[in-house]
Amino acid sequence: MLTRILIILAFCFAATAQAAPVILIYGDSLSAGYGLPQNTGWANLLAQRLEQKKLNYQVVNASISGETTTGGLYRIEQTLATHQPAIVIVELGANDGLRGLPLDATRSNLDGIIRACRKQNAKVVIVGMQLPPNYGNAYTEKFQRNYIALAKQYKLRLVPFMMEGFAGRRELFQADNLHPTVEAQPLILDNIWKALQPLLK
Protein backbone atom coordinates (compact mmCIF):
# COMPACT_ATOMS: atom_id res chain seq x y z
CA MET A 1 0.00 0.00 0.00
CA LEU A 2 2.80 2.39 0.94
CA THR A 3 4.57 1.63 -2.33
CA ARG A 4 1.42 2.49 -4.28
CA ILE A 5 1.06 5.81 -2.45
CA LEU A 6 4.68 6.70 -3.13
CA ILE A 7 4.25 5.93 -6.82
CA ILE A 8 1.12 8.10 -7.00
CA LEU A 9 2.92 10.97 -5.24
CA ALA A 10 5.85 10.64 -7.61
CA PHE A 11 3.54 10.96 -10.59
CA CYS A 12 1.85 13.98 -9.01
CA PHE A 13 5.18 15.72 -8.44
CA ALA A 14 6.28 14.91 -11.98
CA ALA A 15 3.04 16.31 -13.40
CA THR A 16 3.45 19.49 -11.36
CA ALA A 17 7.00 19.96 -12.63
CA GLN A 18 5.93 19.43 -16.23
CA ALA A 19 3.01 21.83 -15.80
CA ALA A 20 5.22 24.77 -14.82
CA PRO A 21 4.74 27.38 -17.55
CA VAL A 22 7.84 28.33 -19.50
CA ILE A 23 9.40 31.76 -19.73
CA LEU A 24 11.47 31.69 -22.91
CA ILE A 25 14.38 34.10 -23.20
CA TYR A 26 15.01 34.68 -26.88
CA GLY A 27 18.04 36.87 -27.38
CA ASP A 28 21.67 37.30 -28.34
CA SER A 29 24.94 37.40 -26.41
CA LEU A 30 23.55 39.95 -23.94
CA SER A 31 21.18 37.25 -22.69
CA ALA A 32 23.33 34.20 -23.47
CA GLY A 33 25.87 35.22 -20.83
CA TYR A 34 28.77 36.01 -23.15
CA GLY A 35 32.05 36.38 -21.25
CA LEU A 36 30.47 35.57 -17.89
CA PRO A 37 31.15 32.69 -15.50
CA GLN A 38 28.61 29.91 -15.92
CA ASN A 39 25.17 30.51 -14.39
CA THR A 40 25.79 34.16 -13.53
CA GLY A 41 23.84 35.86 -16.34
CA TRP A 42 20.58 37.69 -15.79
CA ALA A 43 18.61 34.71 -17.14
CA ASN A 44 19.95 32.55 -14.31
CA LEU A 45 19.21 35.31 -11.82
CA LEU A 46 15.65 35.43 -13.14
CA ALA A 47 15.18 31.73 -12.41
CA GLN A 48 16.51 32.29 -8.89
CA ARG A 49 14.20 35.24 -8.28
CA LEU A 50 11.15 33.30 -9.45
CA GLU A 51 12.05 30.50 -7.07
CA GLN A 52 12.60 32.91 -4.19
CA LYS A 53 9.19 34.48 -4.81
CA LYS A 54 7.62 31.03 -5.11
CA LEU A 55 6.42 31.73 -8.64
CA ASN A 56 6.04 28.45 -10.49
CA TYR A 57 7.80 29.11 -13.79
CA GLN A 58 10.54 27.36 -15.72
CA VAL A 59 13.10 29.59 -17.42
CA VAL A 60 14.45 28.40 -20.77
CA ASN A 61 17.27 30.45 -22.28
CA ALA A 62 17.31 30.02 -26.06
CA SER A 63 19.66 32.95 -26.64
CA ILE A 64 22.58 32.64 -29.07
CA SER A 65 25.63 34.87 -29.14
CA GLY A 66 25.84 36.82 -32.38
CA GLU A 67 22.18 36.30 -33.21
CA THR A 68 20.43 38.81 -35.46
CA THR A 69 16.72 39.32 -35.93
CA THR A 70 17.03 37.42 -39.23
CA GLY A 71 18.36 34.37 -37.40
CA GLY A 72 15.78 34.82 -34.68
CA LEU A 73 12.93 34.86 -37.17
CA TYR A 74 14.32 31.79 -38.93
CA ARG A 75 14.30 29.64 -35.79
CA ILE A 76 11.31 31.02 -33.85
CA GLU A 77 8.72 28.52 -35.08
CA GLN A 78 10.80 25.50 -34.06
CA THR A 79 11.76 27.07 -30.75
CA LEU A 80 8.14 27.79 -29.88
CA ALA A 81 7.10 24.27 -30.88
CA THR A 82 9.84 22.77 -28.71
CA HIS A 83 9.27 24.78 -25.54
CA GLN A 84 5.64 25.96 -25.82
CA PRO A 85 6.29 29.04 -23.68
CA ALA A 86 3.69 31.05 -21.81
CA ILE A 87 5.89 34.16 -21.97
CA VAL A 88 8.64 35.10 -24.42
CA ILE A 89 11.22 37.77 -23.63
CA VAL A 90 12.48 38.97 -27.01
CA GLU A 91 15.92 40.59 -26.77
CA LEU A 92 17.16 40.94 -30.33
CA GLY A 93 18.31 43.68 -32.66
CA ALA A 94 21.57 44.86 -31.11
CA ASN A 95 23.66 42.94 -33.64
CA ASP A 96 21.54 44.30 -36.49
CA GLY A 97 22.29 47.82 -35.29
CA LEU A 98 25.99 47.28 -34.70
CA ARG A 99 26.32 45.93 -38.24
CA GLY A 100 24.37 48.84 -39.69
CA LEU A 101 21.71 46.57 -41.19
CA PRO A 102 18.55 48.13 -42.70
CA LEU A 103 16.23 49.04 -39.82
CA ASP A 104 13.07 48.33 -41.81
CA ALA A 105 14.25 44.73 -42.13
CA THR A 106 15.00 44.60 -38.41
CA ARG A 107 11.52 45.82 -37.59
CA SER A 108 9.94 43.38 -40.04
CA ASN A 109 11.86 40.48 -38.49
CA LEU A 110 10.87 41.48 -34.96
CA ASP A 111 7.28 41.84 -36.15
CA GLY A 112 7.41 38.29 -37.49
CA ILE A 113 8.82 36.96 -34.22
CA ILE A 114 6.12 38.72 -32.21
CA ARG A 115 3.34 37.45 -34.47
CA ALA A 116 4.66 33.89 -34.22
CA CYS A 117 4.64 34.12 -30.42
CA ARG A 118 1.12 35.55 -30.33
CA LYS A 119 -0.08 32.84 -32.71
CA GLN A 120 1.01 30.34 -30.04
CA ASN A 121 -0.79 32.40 -27.36
CA ALA A 122 2.47 33.39 -25.71
CA LYS A 123 2.70 36.78 -24.03
CA VAL A 124 5.63 38.89 -25.20
CA VAL A 125 8.03 41.22 -23.44
CA ILE A 126 10.16 43.16 -25.90
CA VAL A 127 13.53 44.41 -24.72
CA GLY A 128 14.76 47.65 -26.27
CA MET A 129 18.34 48.65 -26.94
CA GLN A 130 20.21 51.84 -27.77
CA LEU A 131 23.18 52.30 -30.09
CA PRO A 132 26.31 54.39 -29.54
CA PRO A 133 25.97 57.94 -30.92
CA ASN A 134 28.70 57.40 -33.53
CA TYR A 135 26.14 55.59 -35.70
CA GLY A 136 24.43 58.93 -36.35
CA ASN A 137 21.33 60.44 -34.82
CA ALA A 138 18.94 59.43 -37.60
CA TYR A 139 19.93 55.76 -37.45
CA THR A 140 20.11 55.49 -33.65
CA GLU A 141 16.79 57.25 -33.12
CA LYS A 142 14.97 55.08 -35.66
CA PHE A 143 16.59 52.00 -34.14
CA GLN A 144 15.18 52.83 -30.72
CA ARG A 145 11.78 53.88 -32.08
CA ASN A 146 11.33 50.45 -33.67
CA TYR A 147 10.95 48.86 -30.23
CA ILE A 148 8.58 51.54 -28.99
CA ALA A 149 6.43 51.31 -32.11
CA LEU A 150 6.17 47.51 -31.99
CA ALA A 151 5.28 47.56 -28.30
CA LYS A 152 2.54 50.10 -29.01
CA GLN A 153 1.27 48.27 -32.09
CA TYR A 154 0.89 44.93 -30.32
CA LYS A 155 0.26 46.30 -26.80
CA LEU A 156 3.35 44.54 -25.43
CA ARG A 157 5.25 45.02 -22.21
CA LEU A 158 8.35 47.02 -23.12
CA VAL A 159 11.77 47.32 -21.50
CA PRO A 160 12.78 50.67 -23.05
CA PHE A 161 16.51 50.06 -22.60
CA MET A 162 18.12 46.90 -21.29
CA MET A 163 21.03 48.83 -19.75
CA GLU A 164 19.02 51.69 -18.29
CA GLY A 165 20.74 53.27 -15.30
CA PHE A 166 24.25 51.93 -15.88
CA ALA A 167 25.12 52.31 -19.58
CA GLY A 168 27.57 55.09 -18.77
CA ARG A 169 29.44 53.17 -16.08
CA ARG A 170 32.53 51.78 -17.80
CA GLU A 171 33.39 49.52 -14.84
CA LEU A 172 30.21 47.52 -15.46
CA PHE A 173 31.28 46.46 -18.95
CA GLN A 174 33.76 43.89 -20.16
CA ALA A 175 36.90 44.85 -22.11
CA ASP A 176 34.96 45.01 -25.39
CA ASN A 177 32.81 47.86 -24.01
CA LEU A 178 29.72 46.02 -25.25
CA HIS A 179 28.93 43.20 -22.85
CA PRO A 180 27.99 43.87 -19.23
CA THR A 181 29.96 42.27 -16.40
CA VAL A 182 28.73 39.94 -13.68
CA GLU A 183 28.10 42.94 -11.44
CA ALA A 184 25.72 44.43 -14.01
CA GLN A 185 23.52 41.35 -14.35
CA PRO A 186 21.26 42.13 -11.34
CA LEU A 187 20.72 45.62 -12.80
CA ILE A 188 19.65 44.12 -16.13
CA LEU A 189 17.28 41.78 -14.32
CA ASP A 190 15.73 44.68 -12.41
CA ASN A 191 15.06 46.51 -15.69
CA ILE A 192 13.44 43.46 -17.24
CA TRP A 193 11.55 42.51 -14.08
CA LYS A 194 9.58 45.77 -14.19
CA ALA A 195 8.03 44.73 -17.50
CA LEU A 196 7.79 41.01 -16.77
CA GLN A 197 6.28 41.04 -13.30
CA PRO A 198 2.75 42.16 -14.33
CA LEU A 199 2.52 39.09 -16.59
CA LEU A 200 3.33 36.62 -13.81
CA LYS A 201 0.55 34.78 -12.04
User: Over the chain, what is the mean pLDDT?
Assistant: 92
* pLDDT top residue among 132 and 195: 195
CB 26 within 8 A of CB 92: yes
pLDDT at 15: 44
Phi, psi (deg, nearest 5) at residue 160: -55, -40
Query: Hey, what domains does the chain have and what are their CATH numbers?
Result: 20-199 (3.40.50.1110)
> What are the start-end ranges of the E strands in the chain?
22-27, 58-61, 87-91, 123-127, 157-159
Q: Which amino acid is at 18?
A: Q
pTM for the complete prediction?
0.90
The residues carrying an active-site annotation are 29, 176, 179
Predicted confidence (pLDDT) at residue 9 exceeds the cutoff of 70 = no
pLDDT of residue 19: 78
- Give the model's pLDDT for residue 201: 83
